[in-house]
């Protein structure tokens, strides 16, 4: 019988963790790596540090997690699902909307104009989490906590205050929903991973970037463009997920401690996202960028984007089926109650 690389990695993870449990070596602590495509100063980096620090308060050195930011392990966010499932890395924080090819439900949080505030993003996370968890469980992983991206806007060489400004705009998107929405709106989008953005901007491969204000700040985007237009397009979700065999091999008290801090991690992540919005605007303005707030964006621009996004939402519903419709119905009902 031939054993695949995936099975070999999985069995190695189980065997390695099991060997540590119940032996003197375990007193030195199990060591995990936490993969993050973004850097330690990013919002995801801050959230990961909070998680690691809170866990250390509860379990000491029984579980030692090393933060591996900036893609230090060689993985982009889109690689994390397979890497954690395989056991190549024990735990990761992942932009879930890059996993739509695994299950269309993962594209939910980046549906255009679905969650336009941090409060709505939290409600959507809590509503959909049971269904997300089932998908991760089916792939030998456990879903822990999440954080939203700050609302996406458009960084460009001009304010996006007319329909003409969108026509033909060579803009970076971060997932299939954004790509299709902007195609429908008449732009020329290109889906680009975070780590590949600077080369594209510096060589003129793209003229604009769809990301949050915090994302622009992390890129020092004022070196390439002059404007940020606030459109509150979407709040994509990052999730922290762990290899389940590695988790199951931990002592029961360490497992309990991890699960007990998840709500606190959610709360912290949402707080720093809210705090980041005005901070990012100030930093960009201090570097000479012009911030155009949503109330100064003409209705025709929002109408164009919302009509383009409605097609994406309808297509998503047809792909996600009853599961997606049920989650969406529950979210809309709670939002309006």
Tens digit of each residue's pLDDT, the chain (337 residues): 444 434 433 444 444 443 333 333 334 689 999 999 999 988 999 999 999 999 999 999 999 999 999 999 999 999 999 999 999 999 999 999 889 899 999 999 889 989 888 999 999 999 999 999 999 999 999 999 999 988 899 999 999 999 999 999 999 998 888 999 999 999 999 999 888 999 999 999 999 999 999 889 989 999 999 999 999 998 989 999 999 999 999 999 999 999 999 999 999 999 999 998 989 999 999 999 999 999 999 999 999 999 999 989 999 999 999 999 999 999 999 888 7
| 137 and 250, same domain (yes or no) | yes
The residue from 276, 292, 308 where one domain ends is 276
Domain count along the chain = 2
Residue 199, C-beta contacts closer than 8 angstroms, at least 6 positions apart: 205
Looking at residue 175, which CATH number applies to its domain? Answer: 3.40.190.170
Instruction: Indicate if 250 and 221 belong to the same structural domain.
Output: no
pTM over the 0.75 mark: yes
Structural domain boundaries enclosing 172: 152-234+280-336
Collect all residues with Cβ–Cβ distance below 8 Å to 197 and sequence separation of at least 6.
172, 209, 219
The verdict on 47 and 84 lying in the same domain is yes
**8 A C-beta contact, residue 228 and residue 155:** yes
Same domain, 312 and 173: yes
* DSSP helix, strand, coil percent of the chain (3-state; round to 5): 55, 15, 30
Task: Tell whether 71 and 118 lie within a shared domain.
Answer: yes
- Say yes or no: 184 and 115 in one domain: no
Please tell me whether residues 79 and 216 are part of one structural domain: no
One domain, residues 180 and 108: no
The number of CA neighbours under 13 Å toward the Cβ of 68 is 21
Asked if 137 and 228 sit in the same domain, the reply is: no
């Amino acid at each position: 019988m031939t054993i695949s690389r995936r099975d070999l990695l999985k069995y190695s993870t189980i065997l390695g963790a099991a060997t540590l449990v119940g032996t003197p070596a375990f007193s030195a602590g199990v060591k995990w790596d936490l993969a993050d495509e973004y850097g330690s100063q990013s919002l995801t980096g801050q959230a990961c540090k909070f998680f690691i620090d809170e866990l250390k308060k509860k379990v000491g050195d029984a579980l030692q997690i090393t933060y591996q930011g900036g893609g230090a392990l060689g993985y982009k966010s889109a690689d994390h699902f397979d890497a954690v499932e395989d056991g190549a890395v024990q735990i990761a924080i992942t932009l879930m909307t890059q996993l739509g090819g695994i299950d269309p439900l993962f594209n939910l949080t980046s549906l255009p104009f679905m969650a336009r505030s941090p409060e709505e993003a939290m409600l959507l996370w809590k509503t959909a989490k049971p269904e997300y968890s089932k998908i991760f469980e089916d792939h030998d992983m456990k879903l822990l906590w999440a954080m939203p991206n700050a609302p996406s806007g458009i960084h460009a060489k001009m304010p996006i205050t007319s329909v003409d400004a969108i026509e033909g705009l060579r803009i970076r998107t971060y997932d299939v929903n954004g790509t299709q929405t902007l195609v429908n709106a008449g732009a020329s989008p290109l889906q680009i991973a975070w780590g590949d953005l600077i080369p594209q901007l510096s060589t003129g491969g793209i003229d604009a970037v769809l990301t949050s204000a915090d994302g622009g700040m992390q890129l020092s985007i004022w070196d390439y463009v002059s404007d940020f237009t606030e459109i509150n397009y979407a709040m994509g979700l990052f999730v922290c997920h762990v290899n389940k065999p590695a988790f199951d091999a931990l002592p029961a008290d360490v497992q309990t401690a991890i699960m007990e801090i998840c709500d606190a991690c959610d709360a912290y992540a949402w707080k720093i996202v809210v705090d980041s919005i005005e901070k990012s605007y100030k930093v960009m303005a201090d570097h000479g960028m012009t911030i155009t707030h949503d109330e100064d964006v003409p209705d025709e621009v929002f109408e164009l984007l919302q009509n383009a996004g409605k097609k994406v939402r309808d297509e998503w519903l047809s792909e996600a089926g009853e599961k997606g419709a049920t989650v969406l119905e529950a979210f809309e009902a709670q939002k309006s109650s």
